[in-house]
């Protein structure tokens, strides 16, 4: 889904430059994660996969559940014990199974991988070419929304690096390699 690109008057005034915000929080699953995970699910289905297994403590699990529900394939998400009940409940709302396992994401991910088989799409929260290709569509949309004008800077937050990798791919394929970026952790 194309999301709005809007000016932030407050941030623009503080920076003394026009600052535009890409509102991917308005995606159906609530974050940019659906772009990459949705693309991964579609690619997996094209390869004959009939179910999905994911690990996440939040947004990636929700995106996996949403993408799989819309694609009519079952999904199971392994979450660490620290995952709040409301996050697991949000995942379950999209008919995905949820299993709590381990004290951190690494433990939950290890358990998720134990449940893979030839028919399953493994949905990593941030790593993989299909995920990065999906995230790259953010830059495609920005270029269209800016009517070809080039931004002076791209700023993003970085957790696992999937969004950053996708934005770099998008910048490259739109011949915006020279647009500087800033990472916020």
Rounded to whole angstroms, how far apart are CA atoms 41 and 18? 36
Domain 33-127 in CATH 3.40.50.1100? The answer is yes
What pLDDT is recorded for position 63? 97
The set of residues, in sequence order, having a beta carbon less than 8 Å from that of 37 and lying 6+ positions away, is 54, 60, 63, 64, 67, 123, 131, 134
pLDDT at 117 over 90: yes
What pLDDT is recorded for position 137? 98
Mind listing the pLDDT tens digit for each residue in 49-66? 999 999 998 899 999 999
pLDDT at 133 over 90: yes
Average pLDDT for the chain:
95
What pLDDT is recorded for position 182? 65
What pLDDT is recorded for position 148? 79
Mind listing the pLDDT tens digit for each residue in 136-172? 999 999 999 999 799 999 999 888 899 999 999 999 9
Residue 53, strand partner residues:
76, 122
The set of residues, in sequence order, having a beta carbon less than 8 Å from that of 7 and lying 6+ positions away, is 18, 19, 20, 21
185: confidence class by pLDDT, cuts 50, 70, 90: low
Asked whether the beta carbons of 78 and 108 are under 8 A apart, the reply is yes
Domains of the chain, by residue range, sit at 5-27+132-184, 33-127
Rounded to whole angstroms, how far apart are CA atoms 171 and 23? 18
CA 151 from chain centre, in angstroms, equals 22
What is the share, in percent, of the chain residues with pLDDT greater than 90? Answer: 90
**Cβ-count burial 166-180 (b if 16+ within 10 Å, e if not):** bbbbbbeebebeeee
């Amino acid at each position: 889904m194309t999301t709005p690109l809007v000016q932030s008057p407050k941030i623009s005034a503080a920076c003394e430059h026009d600052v535009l915000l890409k509102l991917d929080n308005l995606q159906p699953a609530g974050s940019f994660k659906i772009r990459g995970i949705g693309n991964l699910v579609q690619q997996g289905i094209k390869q004959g996969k009939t179910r999905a297994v994911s690990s996440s403590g939040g947004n990636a699990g929700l995106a996996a559940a949403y993408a799989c529900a819309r694609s009519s394939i079952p999904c199971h998400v392994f979450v660490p014990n620290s995952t709040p009940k409301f996050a697991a409940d949000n995942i379950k709302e999209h008919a995905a199974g949820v299993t709590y396992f381990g004290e951190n994401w690494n433990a939950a991910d290890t358990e998720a991988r134990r449940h893979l088989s030839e028919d399953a799409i493994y949905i990593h929260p941030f790593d993989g070419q299909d995920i990065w290709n999906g995230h790259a569509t953010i830059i495609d949309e920005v270029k269209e929304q800016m009517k070809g004008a080039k931004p002076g800077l791209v700023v993003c937050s970085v957790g696992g690096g999937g969004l950053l990798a996708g934005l770099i791919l998008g910048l490259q394929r739109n011949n915006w390699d020279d647009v500087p970026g800033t990472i916020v952790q």
